[in-house]
């Protein structure tokens, strides 16, 4: 646990700094803001790939979705904790540099800049803090204590990890827009992949987990919410609510991308 926590705490900030320095060499004409934005998206893609691979490994290894265990279900949580902390800071940096470019904030970091960030990115920050403060302790308790775990296995933790499958495509879309490639075929194809992966791994994921539990214990699907611990239902509801909101935004953006004119799409 502690070794994983320490390695992850060094890995993500270190990779972020390395990307910024490599971009300074590869694209000397870019501003610091552009290098920070692209570096943050690259690191996000790396983490999402790691989480997805970990999740798929756990899911495929747990034949019995109730009782089977896998070490990655516990270990990767201690990778997520420093990543979420790092990501909040990088989101703040991106917000500050964007605001600086628009002349909205002062040249120095201040409580006003932090407050502006929290207001603008309140949903994403709340999502990250929920994982750090609520979901991580609950998951650790669920994995450690059989009576509190309510017989829910590592399979479901692995399912949650696979929700990151859509993140590389979301990041690629933002990178293509940063490179002014939003009117290319690659951007359109990537937009379809964002829709499909987001819907499958962030929306249908939750009915899939409930159906897997129902099949394993031999009960109808509609009885599952009444058979699992209350905190699991609350955690799932808290996780899927922002996903539904973001999916709505993605669908609106897709409608503009595939239905509007090039001039309208560039807005």
DSSP string, 14-73: HHHHHHHHHHHHH-TTS-HHHHHHHHHHHHHHHHHHHHHHHHHHHHHH-SSTTT---HHH
- Total number of domains constituting the chain: 1
Instruction: Give the pLDDT band of residue 153 (cuts 50, 70, 90).
Output: confident
- The average pLDDT across 234-244 equals 87
Question: Please, which residues have CB within 8 angstroms of residue 220's CB and are 6 or more apart in sequence?
Answer: 214
What range defines the domain where residue 111 resides?
2-265
Instruction: Give the pLDDT band of residue 8 (cuts 50, 70, 90).
Output: very high
Among candidates 216, 209, 212, 196, which has minimal Cα distance to 235?
209
CA distances from 205 to 40, 72, 94, 140, 162 (A): 26, 19, 30, 21, 9
Q: pLDDT (tens digit, 9 = 90+) per residue, 100-149?
A: 777 665 567 778 788 888 888 888 888 788 777 766 665 655 544 333 44
pLDDT value at 16 more than 90: yes
Q: pLDDT (tens digit, 9 = 90+) per residue, 87-103?
A: 999 999 888 888 777 76
Residue 258 has a pLDDT of: 76
Structure tokens at 124: 């994403």
Residue in the structure block whose two tokens are 């509007």: 260
Q: How far apart are CA 4 and CA 161, in angstroms?
A: 17
- The average pLDDT across 224-240 equals 86
Cβ-based neighbour number of residue 11 at 10 Å: 18
User: Please, are residues 56 and 21 in contact by the beta-carbon 8 Å criterion?
Assistant: no
| DSSP 8-state secondary structure symbol assigned to residue 135 | I
Angle subtended at Cα 83 by Cα 71 and Cα 172, rounded to the nearest 5 degrees: 105
Full-model pTM: 0.84
Residue 50 has a pLDDT of: 96
pLDDT value at 263 more than 60: no
pLDDT value at 262 more than 60: no
User: Please, are residues 154 and 143 in contact by the beta-carbon 8 Å criterion?
Assistant: yes
Structure tokens at 105: 């904030």
Residue 62 has a pLDDT of: 92
Per the prediction, the chain carries an average pLDDT of 85
Q: pLDDT (tens digit, 9 = 90+) per residue, 157-206?
A: 899 999 999 999 999 999 999 999 988 999 999 999 999 999 999 999 99
Among candidates 8, 9, 7, 30, which has minimal Cα distance to 19?
30
């Amino acid at each position: 646990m502690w070794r994983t926590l320490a390695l992850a705490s060094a890995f993500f900030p270190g990779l972020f700094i390395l990307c910024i320095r490599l971009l300074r060499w590869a694209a000397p004409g870019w501003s610091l803001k552009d290098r920070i934005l692209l570096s943050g998206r690259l690191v996000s893609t790396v983490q999402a790939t790691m989480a997805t691979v970990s999740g798929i490994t756990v899911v495929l290894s747990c034949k019995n979705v109730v009782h089977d265990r896998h070490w990655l279900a516990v270990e990767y949580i201690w990778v997520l904790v420093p990543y979420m902390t790092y990501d909040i800071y990088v989101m703040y940096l991106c917000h500050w540099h964007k605001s600086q470019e628009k002349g909205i904030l002062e040249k120095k970091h201040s409580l006003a800049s932090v407050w502006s960030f929290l207001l603008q990115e309140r949903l994403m920050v709340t999502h990250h803090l929920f994982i750090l403060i609520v979901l991580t302790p609950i998951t650790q308790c669920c994995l450690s204590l059989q009576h509190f775990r309510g017989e829910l296995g590592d399979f479901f933790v692995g399912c949650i990890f696979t929700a990151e499958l859509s993140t590389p495509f979301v990041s690629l879309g933002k990178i293509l827009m940063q490179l002014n490639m939003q009117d290319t075929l690659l951007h359109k194809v990537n937009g379809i992949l964002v829709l499909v992966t987001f819907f499958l791994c962030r929306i249908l994921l939750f009915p899939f987990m409930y159906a897997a539990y129902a099949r394993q214990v031999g009960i109808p699907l509609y009885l599952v919410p009444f058979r699992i611990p209350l905190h699991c239902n609350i955690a799932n509801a808290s996780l899927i609510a922002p996903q539904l909101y973001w999916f709505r935004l993605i669908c609106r953006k897709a409608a503009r991308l595939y239905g509007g004119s090039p001039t309208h799409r560039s807005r």
